[in-house]
Structure 1
Amino acid sequence: MAILAEGLDALKVRTRTVIEVAQIFETNGYLQAIQLVFIDGLSLALTVWTDWRLVAELRSQVEMPDHLWPADAMTRSVIIQITGPVSEVVSNQNQVGELVEVRFTVGNRQMLVGSFAGDLTTE
């Protein structure tokens, strides 16, 4: 598995078609990542790093991000109702220019993924 792009460059996914959106949880239910899977086999993983910024990685395959460890302690759950082309990606940065929030429009639905006080949040 290769990381193709990180940060704001990883968010250049407009017009790609999403076939599934998944949430990745620790066994205790703590949300660790959101993963958008595209029809061409790429995936976009969004997680919160230790400095509370949102990390975006465009990956060459649909696999558990390697920094989520141990992998066997994670559970991946698909949100099947969010599919279609990405028509809009709007990112927000904090005062020092770090990524903290991304709003996606996928098909006719909007999805917000962000970092708040070190936790990954979704709407």
Structure 2
Amino acid sequence: MEKENVLTKLKNYARKLKHNLFVLFLSYKDDRVPWYAKVVAICVVAYAFSPIDLIPDFIPVLGYLDDLIIVPLGMSLALKLIPHHVIEDNRAKAEEMRKNGKPKNWFVGILFILIWIAFAIWIGKVIRTIVL
């Protein structure tokens, strides 16, 4: 019984995180949100959906620990920076999106990929200048 209770709690927590990611995504696109909150929101969403982690997932325990700490902390910060009425409006929109199927925004997906490519190129240049 105890195992099922823990598993249920984890599933509910994961569902809540996913819902809040959609809220942050919608808030990023909302004109009522200050620019600094948008920056934090899009960074959290990008990190959560990015295949690249600060600590790779194949490292036992630590690999998933960064996702369990960084994403919820970033999400908490972003939600505190966004006006409450905007969050409530976007929670309703996110719930409607969930009912109609997952959001499909190819532009944002391509944008994230381009950002990671640009970041990789920049890191390569930094490393090359350090080595040379």
TM-score, structure 2 normalization: 0.26
| Larger-Rg structure | 2
More helix by share: 2
